[in-house]
Amino acid sequence: MTRNHTPKSLAVLLRARMHPDALPSSPSQLSPTPPTDPDPAAPPAASVRHWLHAAASATSPPPATLDSFSDGYRSLDRVGRREVLRSLATDYDVPRARVRDLMRQYMSVASAAAIGVDGAEAEEGKEGAAAALYRMERGLREALRPRYAGFLEAMNAQPGGLKLLAVLRADLLALLGEENAPALRALDSYLKEKLVTWLSPAALTLHQITWDDPASLLEKIVAYEAVHPIRNLIDLKRRLGVGRRCFGYFHPAIPGEPLIFIEVALHKDMAASIQEVLWDEPPTPESEASCALFYAISSTQPGLSGINLGKFLLKRVIDMLRRDMPSVQIFATLSPIPGFMQWLRAKLASQMKLAETESQEGNSLEGASSTFRESILLPDEEKMIHDAIEQAHGKQGIELLQDILKTSQWVKSEKLSAALKSPLMRLCARYLAREKIRGKALDAVANFHLQNGAVSEPSQIQF
């Protein structure tokens, strides 16, 4: 196209290129209508894929079709579910052929509009070009939406659909652990984004779980407690009784089952160990409590991994306790540190390896290896460990510490426990406060609490 085109001819050209008949039909329009029922002789996964195709190809999937998919998917074994997930991620992805066609048309129209024209009717031509581009951009946005988007949204609106989507994402996360395929990652990213929206705090109900709740709910609390297992009904009743609180977040689409729940102990002061909380007999009178200890938080749905419901649950519970119990002024967490021993053992092993390399190769690598050498133990700590070991056999302190930590027998020895208390406390403080990964605490539990408002007091940490 050249500058010799008039504004009217430019507008006619743009309208012609934007005519609906000139655009390729979307894949959903081209998909053949599947038969009413799958082949009875087909494998179970093939039948589920049939219902998936029927639901994903329809503008408004019939509830019966979604139910058939849901029932069929739940009945599949691990291999069958993964076959369906691969099909969902690849066969119902973004229709890239249509996107390419629309992009070519868009670039052609944009180039023509950029040339411009002179004359009295120039403004009319510009408005026509702008309107055409807006329509094409709207079409591009729609085309860039994956075909499984409508299926996922329809399933969420279906009774029991949200729970099915949580199961589906749990299976997807397990598959991603073995097959890090781009299509699977894209499906997980999209589904997680939708779940964050569907599970917004405004859609959730906070409920205090008590001994008077239905037995089916209490059974789920026992089954899902992931931090400190509930041993029996007496233990459960203690955790729901005087001086204790248990709160859960519920969604109306998954009735009778908390998505996440948190356990709280009311004390006069901060507890020094979990044993003080679990075996607090008799419990602190609630009228004397000034500290709320959050000692366990458990998610019941593996498919909601990465969706931070705990952050909102903590804030809601703290607000409720402040309102109902003004005497409670301290809010603290009492949590395990699951990654500390693994980190410490790896640190000791690396330092031992460097020391071995230096002794074998003399001073030739002294400059390079000394860069990575560090004093894990302070002189006083090393002496205390040597004094606690009757037969050190000339080993260094880190060698002795490495040997001691290979088992948990040292906790039964008062002498060893006293010798290890200082170095383990100091190294644990370093692990929590200084060891980072992408700017966040290396320990997952510590990162959760620090991200949700917990504070590590530098004045109480010694290095």
Q: Tell me which residues are annotated as active site.
A: 335, 449
Tokens of 3: 């500058």
- The Cα–Cα gap between 358 and 168 comes to 52
* Counts for the chain of helices (H) and strands (E), in that order: 20, 7
Q: How many CB atoms are located within 10 Å of the residue 177 CB?
A: 8
Distance from C-alpha of 418 to C-alpha of 396, rounded to nearest angstrom:
19
Where does 259-359 show beta strands of DSSP type E?
260-267, 291-299, 330-333
Contacts of 14 (CB under 8 A, 6+ apart): 109, 112, 113, 128, 129, 132
DSSP string, 23-56: SPPPHHHHSPPPPSS--TTS-HHHHHHHHHHHHH
* HSE (side-chain half, CA atoms, 13 Å) at 367: 1
Distance CA 201, CA 196 (A): 9
Distance of alpha carbon 166 from alpha carbon 169, whole angstroms = 5
